Amino acid sequence: MAKSKEAKIVDTTTEERIKAAARVVFHKKGYAATRTRDIAEEAGINLALLNYYFRSKEKLFDIIMFETIFGFMQNMAMVLNEEKSTLEKKVEMIAFNYIDFITKEPNVPIFMLSELRNNAGRLLEKLPVKQLIMTSAFFRQHQEAVAKGKITEPNPLHFLMNLLSLVVFPFIAQPLLQGISNLNETQFNQLMQERKKLIPVWVKAMMKAK
């Protein structure tokens, strides 16, 4: 490495700049619509450097994709596995954390889910998300609440789906929702901020319904 350790505080290495640029462009346009030249331009580097550091577009994509899924699931896995917090608290945490996260990274959900549709097998097998979530405190607490009659719907997958639906879907459908409502981006984000408090209330009510 030709770069001295302390020289650049604000700047980063070429390799990191390429990764950061690739993240931006891949998230925005998806794998197929992204040109390696787009990434090079975004990073302000010579096109050949992309191949010098990452061998190919596909290998670079795999890195970005893995980090994106991991970053998305990590937070959820942590919250769902907390032994101490209540089920209600977990719902609050998920709503709060993800609405903030997706507001900052609005392209991540649709990017992730679009690309997963092509390659779910290959991309998910590296991540031990299955174990982490299906055996989580969240699911155990749900079962306990069902046993006590506090929750009517016995399938924890419905519970998780509903929570994620209410949190994530509005962002995915943002262009459509703005198209039918005339909200600008700021107003839309305000609506999403409202949902931080509303979703836990709604989920609570839903799960007691019968």
Partner DNA sequence: TCCATTTTTAATCAAATGATTAAAATGTTT
Partner DNA sequence: AAACATTTTAATCATTTGATTAAAAATGGA
Name which of its own copies, DNA, none residue 134 binds, using a CB cut-off of 5 to 8 Å depending on partner kind. its own copies
Which one-letter DSSP state was computed for residue 150? S
Residue 33, Cβ neighbours under 10 Å: how many? 10
Q: How far is the CB of 203 from DNA (least distance, A)?
A: 42
> Hey, what long-range contacts does 2-7 have (CB within 8 A, 24 or more apart)?
none
Contact 83, 53 (CB under 8 A): no
- Closer residue to DNA (CB): 14 or 174: 14
User: Alpha-carbon distance 109 to 102, whole Å?
Assistant: 8
Q: How far is the CB of 38 from DNA (least distance, A)?
A: 7
Place of tokens 């031990």: 128
Q: Which of residues 28-57 bind DNA (CB under 7 A)?
A: 34-37, 45-49, 51-52, 55-57
Q: Does 180 bind DNA (CB under 7 A)?
A: no
Q: Which of 104, 90, 188, 192 minimizes the C-alpha distance to 139?
A: 90
Partner from DNA, its own copies, none binding residue 140, C-beta < 5-8 Å depending on class: none
Nearer to its own copies by Cβ, of 47 and 177: the residue is 177
Q: How far apart are CB 171 and its own copies at their closest, in Å?
A: 10
Residue 183 amino acid letter:
L
Asked if 2 and 47 touch (Cβ cutoff 8 Å), the reply is no
Binding residues for its own copies, rule: CB under 8 A, are 29-33, 107, 110, 112-114, 116-118, 120, 124, 129-130, 133-134, 153, 155, 157-158, 161-162, 164-166, 168-170, 172-173, 175-183, 191, 194-195, 198, 201-202, 204-206, 208-210
User: Who contacts 28 (Cβ-Cβ below 8 Å, separation ≥6)?
Assistant: 107, 111
Residue number with CB closer to DNA (60 or 145): 60
89 binds DNA per the rule CB under 7 A: no
Nearest CA-CA partner of 169 in 109, 120, 116: 109
Closer residue to DNA (CB): 45 or 160: 45
Closer residue to DNA (CB): 34 or 107 = 34
Question: In the block, which residue shows the tokens 């198209």?
Answer: 179
Q: Which residues bind DNA (CB under 7 A)?
A: 1-4, 7, 14, 34-37, 45-49, 51-52, 55-58
